[in-house]
Each structure stands twice: as C-alpha cells, then as structure tokens.
Amino acid sequence: MRHVAGVYIRSNMASNSTSYGYSKEFYYQLLLVVLSMLSFRLAISMWGHSGERKPPMHGDFEAQRHWMELTSNLPAKQWYVHGPDNDLQYWGLDYPPLTAYHMMIAGKIAKKYNPEMVELGKSHGIETPEVKLFMRLTVLLMDLIIFLPAVVAYFVFGQERRIDEVQVLTSVMVLAAYPGLALIDNGHFQYNNVSLGLMVMATLALTLTYDILGAILFCLALNYKQMELYHALPFFAYLLGRCVKLGLPKGLYKLSALGFVVIATFALIWSPFLTSVESAMAVLQRLFPFNRGLYEDKVANFWCSVSPFIKFKDIIDPQQMAKICMLVTSLFVLPSFIDLLRKPSITKFHFASINSSLIFFMFSFHVHEKSILIAAIPACLVIGKTPFAVIWFLMISVFSMVPLLMKDGLLIPTFVAVCIFWMGSNHFIKPTQNQRPEVVYALQLSFLGAVCLTLATIFMPPPQRFPDIFQLLIAIYSFAHFFMFTIYFHIKQIGGAYEASVWKLLSGFKPSRAHKTSGDKASTVSVDSSTSSVRELRRRK
Amino acid sequence: MAAVLTLATASALLKLMFIPAYRSTDFEVHRNWLAITHSLPVSKWYVEDTSEWTLDYPPLFAWFEWILSQVAAFVDPGMLQVTNLNYASDATVMFQRVSVILTDFVYYYAIKEFQELAIFNTNKQSGATYSAHLIPILLIFNFGLFIVDHIHFQYNGILFGIMLLSIVRILQERTIEGAFWFSVLLNMKHIFMYIAPAYFVYLLRTYCFNRKKPVSLFTFSKTHFVNLASIVLMVFGISFGPFIYHHQIGQVLSRLFPFKRGLVHAYWAPNMWALYNGLDKLFTIVGLKFGCLHPHTIPKASMTGGMVQEFSHMVMPSIAPLVTMILSACAMVPALVLLWDLKSPLAFVRAIVLCAFSSFLFGWHVHEKAILMIIIPMTLLVKYSQEDAKLFLILSTTGFASLFPLLFTPFENIIKVLLLLQATIFAFLSLKDFYGKGSKSSSMSSRSVLGSTLGSSSLALSLREFHLPLLNILESIYLWGLVGLNIFNSGFPTWLLGLDIMSRLPFLPLMLTSVYCAVGVIYCWLYFYFLLCLDAESSDKQQKSDRCSYGGSDSSKSSSLQKKTR
C-alpha cells in the first residue's frame, strides 16, 4: 500500500509541485502529522507529573518551577551560589546557563500572569491547576517552536537520496511520536525537547554541510543541558576530520573559524559568570557534581547491572569511581571516535552519535535512566537506514524507563503510546519485512520478556528482602539489549565495505537486507541513489 | 476485516489517554443512575429524586446501567450509593471512562458489518490510498462522537452502534433483526424517535407490502406484518411492562418528556430557532435604537445574558411546543413520500438523515449533540457521489464546530481545536483523493467565472488558495468563516483592539456560533433534499428505460440497488 501511495504521489508531483519538489498534498499531510503529535503531547500533559503531591521535595516538575522562581527573582550572580535566598539543597540550579535564561524568561512571563506562581521562597511546592497549566504549556511551546520544526526540517530538507514523500512522512512520524521523549517531557516534566531539538538541528546543518552553523547549534544544545556532552565527541571528530580532509591551508582556516565560533558562543552565553574565576568555577561545580552517586535509582547501565555481583558503589569512593568511569568510557568510545575522525562521512557521524551516547550511558558516572533519550533521538535519525534495529531499540529504551514512568502515574499513557507507536511503525515502516524469521523471532521473544517483566512489576508484590528486584531486573534486561545494540551500531558505523563479511561471521545475528553503505557527498549520491532505487524496485517485484 | 479491528483498537487506545480530561455533569448523571439501578428496586427507579439528575432515559438504558453497576460493585462500591453525590474517586473515573470505551465496540462491530456489506460505493475505481477504509476511518475517528463521549461524557457510542446495526441489518434484508435493534434503541434513548418515521415507512413499504409490486391489499403480507409488530411490541413490553404493572407509566413518561424546558437549550443548537432567536435579538436592538421599544419593558437579563433557560421573545411571537412538532412533521413528509415511492436502500438512508435533519432544525429543546444523528448516517453515503461527499464535508465541519462550546477548560480548549483541524484536514484530503480529478473541473469553472467577474487575475488567484476541494467558492468562504468566527470568539482580536465586548456580553460568542452554524446546517438540509429529489428523477428515468429495454419486469429493485455513477 505504501508503494502504491508513493507512486500515486509521485505522479501528482509533476503537475502540482512546489519549490522543494514536494506536492501540495504532502504539506497538508505533514501538517496533519504535526497537529496529531501536538495533541498527543497535550493529552499526555493532562496526566500526572513527577513528584505530584509528594512533599517536601516533589520532583523534576518542582525543580523546573523552582528555577523559574530563582532566575526571575535573583540576579544572575546568585543563581549558582548558595545564599540566603537560594538554598542549593532544595533543587539548586545544576544545568548550564541557557536553561537558566530559558527559565528566567518563562518565570518573567509567569510573574506577569500571576506572581504567586514564582514568588521567591514562598511558592515552594505550589501545585495549583494554574501552575500546572502554565508549566505544561511552556513545554508544549518548546515542542512547537524547537523540537517539531527541527524534526520536520531534518527529514524534509535533509534527504540524501531521491525524495520519497511517504518515507519523509513516516520518518517524521517515528521521531515525533517516539513515546520516550514525549512521556518524559510532557509527562514526567523536563525540557529535553530543547536540547535534543537543537542537536537535531545541528545534525541537519552538518548534513547540509553548514559546518559552522552546526557547531553553533551544538554549542547551544550543550549549554542547555550538559548531558549533550554524550554527543560532543562525534561532533568534534566529524568537524576535525573534515578540516583534516581539506588539507593544510584550507583546513587550518576552517578549524580556526570553528574554534572561534565555539569560543564566541560559549563566551556569550557564559558572560555573566565570567567576571571572576570563582564564579565560573561555581557554575562548573554545579554542573559536574562528582560527589554524587554512581547512578540514580536503577539505571540500565553497566555499573548498576553488575551491582548484584560487585557493588562498586560501596567498594570505591565516588571521587575514585568517577575517574574509573571516565577511563572506561573513553576507552570504549575510542574505536568509533577514531573511525569517524579518519573517515568523516555523515552516515558514520549518525551512527557515531548513537554509539558515543550509548557508551556514555552505559559506562559513565552519575547517569539517569532518562539519559537513554540522548541515544534514542539520534537513533531515530537513521530510521531509513536500519528500521528494524532502530524500532527495536526505541521500544526497549521506553521499556527501560517504565519504573520511572510508573512512579509518576504515567502507566496508562505509556501503555497507549507504546502500543500506538508499535502499531503505527508496523503499518508504515514494516520493520520486520525482509527480515530473516529467526531475527523476527528474537524480537518477539525480547518483547515478550519486556511485557512479562512489566506485568510482574505492576502486579507482583516484590519479596521482602529485595524490594527493588523488578526494577533491577528491568535494568539488567535493558542493559543486555543496549549492549547488543551498541555492538550492532558499531558494526554499522565501522564495518563499511567489510560489513557483509562481518555479518557472515556473526550470521546468527544477521539481518538479510544488504545494507548499502554509501559515500554521502552530493556528487556521488545522485548516481548512487538512482541505481539503488532501481534495485529496490526490482527486489519488491 | 482486520483493518476495522485495528482501527478500532487504535481508537480505543487513544481514548484511554483522555481519562483525566474534563468531565461535564453528565458524568455525575450516569454515576447517579448506576447507583439508582444498583441499590433500588425497579419500582423506585423513576421515583427516586435524591440527586437533581433523575433517571430520564427509557427503561432499557436503565437496565444497561444496571448491568454496568454489577461490574462497578467490584471496582468501587462507593459510587453505587445514591446519597454519595458528586462522588468521583480515581477508580470511579477509571471505571466509567473505560465502560464508555468498551461499549464503543458495539459501534465498531456495526461499522465492520457495514463495511462487509459494500454498499453505496461508486463504480469508480479510485487510486486513493485509503479509499477502501475511508468510511470506517471517518466513523471511528468521528470528532463529535469523541468529544461528546470521551471528554464531555456520555454513552452515545453504543447507541449509534445499535442504530448503525439496525440500518445494516435492514439493508442486509434481515428485517426482523433490524426492527428488533431499532426497538431496543428506542427503549434506550427516546431521542431516536426522530428517525422512527423513516423506519416505519420503509419497513411498511418493503417488508409488509411486496417491494416489487404496486401497493394493494393483495400484496400486503399479514405474516410479515404480524412478525414485525410482535417483535416491536415484545421489546416495548419487556421495557415498559414492569412499570405498567407498578402503575407508574405516567410517572415514567413525565420523566422522559419534560416539556417544562424551553424552546432552546441553554446553548442554542444551530437550528431554525437559533436564527429565529437571533433575529429577535436583532430586532430588539434595532427597536431600542429607533425608539420603537422602551428599555424598561425589557428584562435586564435578556439583553446582557440572553442565554437563560427560558428565552422570552421580545419582538417575534413565542413558539409553542405544538408548533415545533407540526413544523418537524411537515419537514419530514416529503422525504417519507419519496421514500415510499423509491423504496431503495439509498432512499432509506437519505430519509433517516432527512428525518434527523427535520427534528434537529425544528424540534423543541434540541441539544447541539443531536447533530451527530445527522452526521453519522450521512457518513455512510460519502462514497456514493461527489455531492454527498461535499455535503458531508460542509455539515461535519459546521456541526463539529458547533459542538465547541461543550468544552471550555484550558487544556480541552486547545485539544478540541487541534482535533477538529485534524479531522477536517483528513476528511478533505481523503475525499479529494477519492474523487480525484472530478474536483478539478468544478474548481476550474468557478475559477474562470471569478476571473471574469472580478476582472483582476491576482485577486482570483489569491482567492483560489482558499478554495477547498469539492466545494464551490461560496461554500469554501463559509467554512473559512468558521475559522474567523473562532478567532473572534477566542477574544483575542477584541483584546488587541482594547474593547471589552467579551466581558460585557459573555454569551455573544455562543450566540454567534449557533447562528453562524445554523446557516450551514440549513443549507445542507436543503441541498440534501435536492439530492433525494434527483434520485427520484433518475430512478424514474431508469424505470422508463428499463421498461423499454426489458419489458418492465422486476428491474426496479435491481436498478435501484445498482451502484450508480453520476
């Protein structure tokens, strides 16, 4: 059916096409997708948020509101410093300045609307319907002006191959309807959509070879949320690699240009805190708290998954542990980093950002379960290249956050979102099509395990001795998957021409579709893509 | 028919998302009815009045609530106490919401049955993507049904399911079952009496008399008539029997037909009376301006509010219930006469739509939600002809927009706009796709007309951008007007201009909405009547030509059943 639709739309294109080669209907369909994604987020917004009715600390919702209160009432100097009006023990600001500015603007608007919502010191834990509405709408606004436009722009303008409208629409749908991000942002309450939206825009800029713009956008993302460091290495490697490719005079010029814009962006954003070394250090200390735990709650990473056998948390003190984490992480991230540095192609960059963020998630220090989103969003960007693995990974990534979502009373929206996502991707993308039966079987088995674990968490009372047993099992189960996916995405990135033989070696895990690893610069693509599309058509027949 | 099941599952899942949404007092109404039917004997059901929301649906709906209450007892017994007014624990909300979602499966089943019937399709093989499942999608993701049932809270899903089922059964010529389901429907919600005349005429003509022969005493089948009558009487007997036994029939009927209410509901449904009242307001204002009326003769509330329960007319004569009944009947009669002549399934569905139209436009104390009774049967015809599709587009957009005042809380205010936009864009895109090139020619002609009359091509070009598919330019402008109306109603433009009309006249948006939508609904009604007349004309011609070619034997039925192309 999808194929028929594609042909139909293409036949329409000749008579009714616009400047980018898309038909007029396409834009209406795109509008339909965007509107449905907005209402999907709005529907999630009606459910509970983190820490609702849980004094004294509440949760991330109160944290963000508290930051609005701080930033809109205090001068920038006092934001990151303990003081009479700023108790750092009560949700002290620990995100970079861009978040602070965003919160300041939101707080100022809230003040205009109703000052009680952000009254300094007196508004702690306020949970009136008005506050809830206001906060929810601020997230929705960010979806509307940053995340969704980034997603749409990425797939509409960032096509390497021939324009296939159905493919563009389904890709937009997958990324925009990915349940994890909407549930965390519009349900649990955070603003990941801003940093991840900026990251998607930066990736688009790199795809279109606007490297300088990409660097600026990534700096913005990094200054919104320090967790974007998970993506920093691929960006660095890709840009550096491209400079090296250019040769000495040109490359050096480009490198200095990139260095300049990065430093300038940082300087601009950090300017209120650069008046003295102490004030800059104060911010940095808030951003990278090495005295906090190895991981929070039960996270699907390596350190938590081995905790039944070795309790690193108890054996080694946090300062030491942080260094070990850094060492292990950099060791594992090296292969993908070096590969990208040597061959800076955009395809490799895509897979490298998944790999780097997955490895950071699994091995770095003080990881939250929500951080899997940082790996999931770049994975959505390669949905067209390896749909099967991406959909599988996305489903498991939501599963790994189930305990958190359950705590926030978001079980029903999670269930609905995941079911609809799976039904939708099955209908539009058909990830299991052209896959070998044993691979599909493995997927079904993996889902069955996830469903069983979820049901057990909901309905079975845990044994007295191990109150967190199900959360831990979910973490270990997800970690096993993430580990496999890391290997898979590494092969996709590094394999290159040898990929087919690698798959032959690992034939137990081999997807049957021969993945094309194309060189991706514009000149080669046009020829390449036409032949590939012909090949694809033949295969379908 | 896996497709319908998939769509149904998806829609049921999405509806789960709206459990925490705003609920109207209807939620408490139904909770109270659960409590009444569960904790009181049948003889008390229509007497009980602890809550102001007394039981005012017919007995079979009460039994439906009784069945639900048997399950509810396991969920939260608290909701089953009559004195527990406004009880809404999390479990209660969950139970009631989920009960609506699950009983919707009756509706989905009826849609599946209709889909298998494969009737009212054009011969045209459309290349459109979703043409095969177009009608199920439009029915399952009906915007009006969604906000009324799953946000506002009512059980219309199951009721419209039974209605569709009865239509489908009759079209399948399983007439007795069809009659049974329609009798059940009447005994669940008596508002469906509005469409009963169409059933009566159609069944009398095609079942009791022989469909293929002219009407005479010899073609009257007594067994068919007795069968039909006994099934209907049986259902009514089971439903009302116990109350006749308890000598409460008067009490029950007084609950079912409260004529003490006014001509119009608090919010005017977009019908003739909305126009009538609007005109009255206009004359009052004009009269005051020119001094024909004296301000002190007019009650204060009627000018500032104007939406009080009993609306008293200032200039125009007041309307009695009898007048509304006579007018509704008059509006129905031509449709019923044509149905008697045509006796085709198509005419049957058209007559149902027209009966619903008549009572909606002229009825006493009509609720805005009753527009669904027109839109849902009309959906069945969208694949029959382009004109039907066009009327569906106009009426569904207008009718759904007229439901907007049902929701007014902040989240739901945004959601309703987003959802209506989606529903409308989808309907326009898919129907344009379905009728393909056909729309091009009509738009071409109107474009050239515009070009010549306006003389300036640039203006015509810019107008073309607003030209909606399948519609002519005036109809398009009307629908775009709805957008303008809602922008005005949001209070934003007046706020920009620094006027505080909205706080002085809080009911102005409601009045504008119902008057504006009434125009569209009445237009669709007239146009729809015109379509039925066209059918009659074409079937006349068909019969004549059939008579010429085949000697005029049993061809009338087959020809009318034939899928026609225009």
ipTM for the assembly: 0.87
- The pLDDT of residue B129 is 58
For range A500-528, the mean pLDDT: 48
Top pLDDT among B112 and A524 is at B112
- Rounded to the nearest angstrom, the gap between the alpha carbon of residue B131 and the centroid of all alpha carbons in its chain is 24
A416 and B418: CB-CB below 8 Å? no
State the burial class of residue B118 (Cβ atoms within 10 Å of its Cβ: 0-12, 13-18, 19+): exposed
Q: Is it the case that residue B438 has pLDDT exceeding 50?
A: no
Helix (H/G/I), strand (E/B), else coil: B518 = helix
A46 and B18: CB-CB below 8 Å? yes
Residues from chain A contacting residue B421 (CB–CB below 8 Å): 35
Is the Cβ of B6 closer than 8 Å to some Cβ of chain A? Answer: yes
Q: What confidence category does residue B454 fall into, taking pLDDT thresholds of 50, 70 and 90?
A: very low
- The pLDDT of residue B123 is 57
Q: Is it the case that residue A19 has pLDDT exceeding 50?
A: no
- The pLDDT of residue A243 is 93
Which element (helix H / strand E) includes B302?
A: helix B300-304
Give percent above pLDDT 70 in chain B: 86
Check residue A367 and give left, alpha or beta (phi > 0: left; psi -120 to 50: alpha).
beta
| CA nearest neighbour of B180 among B191, B190, B165 | B165
For range A274-291, the mean pLDDT: 86
Residues from chain B contacting residue A29 (CB–CB below 8 Å): 429
Q: What confidence category does residue B495 fall into, taking pLDDT thresholds of 50, 70 and 90?
A: confident
Which element (helix H / strand E) includes B303?
A: helix B300-304
Most A CBs within 10 Å, among B6, B7, B14, to test the A interface: B14
Q: Is it the case that residue B455 has pLDDT exceeding 70?
A: no
- The pLDDT of residue B556 is 41
- The pLDDT of residue B437 is 53
- The pLDDT of residue A510 is 46
**Phi, psi dihedrals of residue A144, rounded to the nearest 5°:** -70, -40
Q: CB-CB: which of B10, B20, B410 is closest to A47?
A: B20
Distance from C-alpha of B341 to C-alpha of B347, rounded to nearest angstrom: 9
- Rounded to a whole number of angstroms, the distance from the CA of A373 to the nearest CA of chain B is 22
CA distances to B67, B139, B383, B552 from B115, in Å = 30, 11, 12, 32
Top pLDDT among B30 and B437 is at B30
| CA nearest neighbour of A410 among A33, A34, A60, A148 | A60
Distance from C-alpha of B182 to C-alpha of B193, rounded to nearest angstrom: 10
CA geometry: angle at A395 spanning A390 and A399, to 5°? Answer: 145
| CA nearest neighbour of B109 among B181, B60, B14 | B181
Query: What's the mean pLDDT when you consider all of chain A?
Result: 86
- Rounded to a whole number of angstroms, the distance from the CA of B130 to the nearest CA of chain A is 9
A8 and B129: CB-CB below 8 Å? yes
Most B CBs within 10 Å, among A3, A9, A42, to test the B interface: A42
Distance from C-alpha of A525 to C-alpha of A421, rounded to nearest angstrom: 31
B10 and A36: CB-CB below 8 Å? no
pLDDT in tens, B127-149: 555 678 899 999 999 999 999 99
Top pLDDT among B298 and B161 is at B161
If you search the block for the tokens 């989103």, which residue do you land on? A373
Q: What confidence category does residue A525 fall into, taking pLDDT thresholds of 50, 70 and 90?
A: very low
Give CA torsion, residues B384, B388, B394, B399, to 10 deg. Answer: -80
Distance from C-alpha of A40 to C-alpha of A204, rounded to nearest angstrom: 25
Q: CB-CB: which of A5, A29, A416 is closest to B14?
A: A416
Tokens representing A47 are 């459910």
Please answer whether residues A502 and A475 qualify as being in contact, where contact means their C-beta atoms are separated by less than 8 angstroms. no
Least confident interval from A443-447, A533-537, B114-118, B180-184: A533-537
Is the Cβ of B409 closer than 8 Å to some Cβ of chain A? Answer: no
Is the Cβ of B14 closer than 8 Å to some Cβ of chain A? Answer: yes
Q: Is it the case that residue A188 has pLDDT exceeding 90?
A: yes
If you search the block for the tokens 């390896």, which residue do you land on? A386
| CA nearest neighbour of A493 among A373, A367, A334, A266 | A334
Top pLDDT among A371 and A495 is at A371
CA-based radius of gyration for chain B: 25
Please answer whether residues B161 and B106 qualify as being in contact, where contact means their C-beta atoms are separated by less than 8 angstroms. yes
Please answer whether residues A206 and A352 qualify as being in contact, where contact means their C-beta atoms are separated by less than 8 angstroms. no
- The pLDDT of residue A315 is 82
| CA nearest neighbour of A499 among A482, A515, A519, A486 | A515
Is the Cβ of B545 closer than 8 Å to some Cβ of chain A? Answer: no
Q: Give chain A's count of helices (H) and strands (E).
A: 25, 0
Distance from C-alpha of B174 to C-alpha of B167, rounded to nearest angstrom: 10
Which element (helix H / strand E) includes A312?
A: helix A312-315
Please answer whether residues A301 and A479 qualify as being in contact, where contact means their C-beta atoms are separated by less than 8 angstroms. yes
CA geometry: angle at B344 spanning B339 and B349, to 5°? Answer: 70
pLDDT in tens, B379-427: 999 999 899 999 999 999 999 999 999 999 989 999 999 999 999 999 9
Residue of A nearest to B13 (CA): A416
Please answer whether residues B12 and B101 qualify as being in contact, where contact means their C-beta atoms are separated by less than 8 angstroms. yes
Q: Is it the case that residue A96 has pLDDT exceeding 80?
A: yes
Q: Is it the case that residue A62 has pLDDT exceeding 70?
A: yes
Q: How many CB atoms lie within 10 A of CB A120?
A: 14
Looking at the DSSP bridge assignments, the partners of residue A295 are: A367
Distance from C-alpha of A177 to C-alpha of A424, rounded to nearest angstrom: 9
Distance from C-alpha of A382 to C-alpha of A389, rounded to nearest angstrom: 10
DSSP-derived secondary structure for A85-104: TB-TTTT---S-HHHHHHHH
Q: Which stretches does DSSP call E strand in B57-173?
A: none
- Rounded to a whole number of angstroms, the distance from the CA of B423 to the nearest CA of chain A is 9
- The pLDDT of residue B369 is 93
Distance from C-alpha of A281 to C-alpha of A283, rounded to nearest angstrom: 5
Q: Amino acid identity, residue A54?
A: K
| Side-chain half-sphere exposure of A97, counting CA atoms within 13 A | 21
Q: What confidence category does residue A105 fall into, taking pLDDT thresholds of 50, 70 and 90?
A: very high
Q: What pTM, to 2 d.p., does this model score?
A: 0.88
Tokens representing A475 are 């973490």
Q: What confidence category does residue B439 fall into, taking pLDDT thresholds of 50, 70 and 90?
A: very low
CA distances to A320, A327, A390, A450, B525 from A306, in Å = 18, 18, 26, 19, 71
Distance from C-alpha of A132 to C-alpha of B424, rounded to nearest angstrom: 30
Q: Amino acid identity, residue B474?
A: L
Residues from chain B contacting residue A413 (CB–CB below 8 Å): 17
CA geometry: angle at B9 spanning B3 and B15, to 5°? Answer: 135
CA distances to A478, A535, B228, B432, B464 from B474, in Å = 59, 49, 47, 18, 12
Tokens representing A88 are 């750092």
**Phi, psi dihedrals of residue B209, rounded to the nearest 5°:** -90, 160
Residues from chain B contacting residue A44 (CB–CB below 8 Å): 17
Residues from chain B contacting residue A408 (CB–CB below 8 Å): none
Residue of A nearest to B416 (CA): A39
- Rounded to a whole number of angstroms, the distance from the CA of A197 to the nearest CA of chain B is 22
Top pLDDT among B535 and B171 is at B171
| CA nearest neighbour of B173 among B212, B214, B222, B143 | B212
Give the start-to-end residue ranges of the domains of chain A. Answer: 209-288, 296-533
Query: What's the mean pLDDT when you consider all of chain B?
Result: 85
Angle subtended by helix axes A97-113 and A248-270, to nearest 10:
40
DSSP-derived secondary structure for B549-561: HH-SSTHHHHHHH
Please answer whether residues A146 and A221 qualify as being in contact, where contact means their C-beta atoms are separated by less than 8 angstroms. no
| Side-chain half-sphere exposure of A338, counting CA atoms within 13 A | 6
| CA nearest neighbour of B372 among B95, B134, B54, B152 | B152
Distance from C-alpha of A59 to C-alpha of A52, rounded to nearest angstrom: 7
Is the Cβ of B17 closer than 8 Å to some Cβ of chain A? Answer: yes
DSSP-derived secondary structure for B427-487: HHHHHHHHHTTHHHHHHHHHHHHHHHHH--HHHHHHHHTT--TTS-HHHHHHHHHHHHHHH
State the burial class of residue B176 (Cβ atoms within 10 Å of its Cβ: 0-12, 13-18, 19+): middle
- The pLDDT of residue B472 is 87
Residue of B nearest to A2 (CA): B129
| CA nearest neighbour of A389 among A481, A480, A302 | A481
Which range scores top for mean pLDDT: A2-11, A29-38, A284-293, B256-265?
Answer: A29-38
